[in-house]
Amino acid sequence: MDDGDGIHLAKYLHDKKSLTPLILLTGFATKDIAIESVKYGVYAFLEKRCTPSEIIDVVRNGIEYGKTKKRQSNFSQMGEITSILMHEVIDPLNRSLSRLELLSSQKNQNSWQDNVNNIIEDLEYLSRLISNVRLQIKGQKEVYLKRYTLRQFLEVIETLQDTIQLQIDPSIDAHLCIRSDVILFNQVLENLRKNSIEAMAKDSQEPVEMKLKVSILDERVLFEFINNTPEIPEKIKTRIFEPFISSKKNESDNLGIGLYFCSQTLKAHGGEIFVKEGLPTTFVMSIPVFR
């Protein structure tokens, strides 16, 4: 490698929390290299004098180890989501139980009807919440990163998202490559598109305008999703990619799950997503350039 070695790569992947097992093959084995390998989570460490059968065995075992590690990561994420979901569920559930107790002792018809209506409202919220989580989790597919030239990638996106205006920096090399699951990336854009439509004030006569600006910065492809919707409230802007955080909880079926999965998808691409300060409302996504 012209710009580093296997240990530098191991550290980079470790910092990025990569779940891919890494096997180092070296002709200069030292104690320090072995220690560094363990420190950065290298699965196996082989010397170049090893036999082909040894390499095959280590790779085969590494693949199984990687599958187990990914399952453990998925379980961990599901545990986090379940914990937050239970927190969201418990309040309306307790309110409904308290109101049912009141109903059993109430004789006033008007008060009785008010409590019934409130219980129905809480139960409808719970139903929407659980259904939304179920659909999002069911729709989550394994991320399959495939190599695309930027031109190939953007042609697919432009075809799938014809309501989003594409603006590409003319200085970008169209043959530059990225690794992406284009289907999941399209789902990210679809979530942002739907959020933009829902965020526009109901009484607004102004149509929603959306564009995707594509540029390069520091070996990363930047995708800026820009729209003309109202500014995101400051109190939720820093938490908007957490599960169940939404400014529209009582206005639609969007209960704050979509942006969380957008964030998880970009992380799986080795990238990130964040909201730019000020107007127009802009979500910035990045994917590393693939050399």
CATH code at 13? 3.40.50.2300
Give the CATH number of the domain where residue 122 resides: 1.10.287
Helix 150-160 with 182-199: angle, nearest 10 deg: 40
Q: What is the pLDDT of residue 81?
A: 62
pLDDT (tens digit, 9 = 90+) per residue, 173-216? Answer: 989 999 998 888 998 998 899 888 888 766 577 889 999 999 99
Instruction: Tell me, yes or no, whether 84 and 122 share the same domain.
Output: yes
Choosing from 139, 154, 169, the residue where a domain stops is: 139
For residues 265 and 185, give the distance between their C-alpha atoms in angstroms, rounded to a whole number. Answer: 7
pLDDT (tens digit, 9 = 90+) per residue, 235-269? Answer: 888 888 887 676 554 444 445 677 888 898 899 89
Is residue 1 in a domain? no
| % of the chain beyond a pLDDT of 90 | 25
Instruction: Tell me, yes or no, whether 286 and 150 share the same domain.
Output: yes
Is residue 99 in a domain? yes
pLDDT (tens digit, 9 = 90+) per residue, 85-98? Answer: 666 677 778 778 88
Helix (H, G, I), strand (E, B) or coil at 174: coil
What is the pTM (predicted TM-score) of this model? 0.57
Instruction: Tell me, yes or no, whether 36 and 129 share the same domain.
Output: no
Instruction: Tell me, yes or no, whether 49 and 118 share the same domain.
Output: no
Instruction: Tell me, yes or no, whether 113 and 207 share the same domain.
Output: no
Instruction: Tell me, yes or no, whether 126 and 162 share the same domain.
Output: no
Instruction: Tell me, yes or no, whether 154 and 135 share the same domain.
Output: no
Is residue 72 in a domain? no
Instruction: Tell me, yes or no, whether 201 and 83 share the same domain.
Output: no
- Neighbouring-strand partners of residue 211: 165, 226
Instruction: Tell me, yes or no, whether 50 and 105 share the same domain.
Output: no
Domain ranges, residue 124: 79-139
- Tell which phi-psi region holds residue 80, choosing left (phi > 0), alpha (psi between -120 and 50) or beta: alpha
Give the CATH number of the domain where residue 174 resides: 3.30.565.10
